[in-house]
Structure 1
């Protein structure tokens, strides 16, 4: 009898651990505003766009007050943020910080665009006509750990979408082998990367 009770308790515990809990990145959470915080710093901390925070809290302005409780909507999962940060490091190592944010923004813009997969993982791992969307996925450079600046750039891109003006593509014209990209509408140049849509 004791074995059955113990086994039942064990099964319930394992089930709760595996299926019953979600991370704060995967579910709505609540944040109490501290003095000196802004929607930008809160969005950057949680990796959530400011517009999403405003929408979740029925706000039309950026004004917030210390002590106010804000609903923070679900964001990109921790594993997807890590994947994005590893891609940013692989694609934009040695580029200015704004360029790292813009690379992360390209991924997010693709997720939102009808012509691309609708998940971060799907966008980063996309293969079309035998060509990888991002060369670091093919050559394995994406497997290196992300550095602190790439992690920060991803969080900023998630919170504010950074620079990039709706960019869906980027390339380095000095080393690009696919010249089709040069036919796309140029949006901005940051460091060695040309961004386009």
Structure 2
């Protein structure tokens, strides 16, 4: 009887442990270089292109040194990717494909920035940052174009880490955002740093 109860308890714990989606990125956002490692070996370990790893770390060549900290691209869990897909759909509905990619890029740039939380989930749910979180439209499914835009933004990480904000100045007023440097304008959105 005890053995049967123990097995049921272990099975229940296993189900609870693996049933809930994770809300943090799939791996840490940094890697400490070990002796004998190369950009290529590190890129293979994390499943990211070597050129992207170089871009993330502003490296014009492949020289790295033991003890050096390398920034890694954000690799989202499935639940984080779905959340980002839905945010892009809600925030950039009616905007161009480039605008959707730029919205996703802002979220990824924030994950990499010291000024914001360290996961996609936490960036998206950080206070009053994104109106779809506040008005509930983030719960609506994402369309194929938004999903493709998120994929492109994930592949593009490291090549544009400037934009940390965006807004539509025709719909929202912000003295803080209007005082930031504009990096680009796409459709109705201004992107800023």
* TM-score, structure 2 normalization: 0.67
Q: Please tell me whether the aligned partners of residues 184 and 190 of structure 2 are also in contact (alpha carbons under 8 angstroms).
A: yes
Aligned counterpart for 1:156 among listed residues 134, 152, 157: 152
Q: What residue in structure 1 maps to residue 87 of structure 2? A: 87
Distance in 1 between the 2:55 and 2:166 partners? 30
User: Separation in 1 of the partners of 2:91 and 2:26?
Assistant: 26
Deviations 1:76-103 (A, max 9, x none): 1111111111111111011111111110
SS of residue paired to 1:176: coil
The alpha carbon displacement at 1:14 in A equals: 3.5
**Which residue of 2 is the match for residue 175 of structure 1?**
171
Q: Give structure 2 stretches of 5+ with no counterpart.
A: 28-42, 63-72
Specify the SS of the correspondent of 2:101. helix
Cα contact 2:166–2:189 (8 A) shared by 1? yes
Specify the SS of the correspondent of 1:170.
strand
Matches of 2:181 and 2:26 in 1, distance apart?
35
Give the ranges of 4+ consecutive aligned residues of structure 1 lying more than 4 Å apart after TM superposition. 20-23, 46-50, 52-55, 162-165
Q: Could you tell me which residue of structure 1 aligns to residue 17 of structure 2?
A: 19
Cα offset, 1:106, TM superposition = 0.4
Q: Deviations over 1:140-170 (max 9, x none)?
A: 2112111121122112212223875520011
Match in the other structure for 2:70: none
Partner Cα distance (1:161, 1:140) in 2: 28
Instruction: Give the TM-score taking structure 1 as reference length.
Output: 0.66
Kindly report which structure 2 residues correspond to 1:118-133, keeping only aligned pairs within 5 A, or say none. Answer: 118-127=118-127, 132-133=128-129
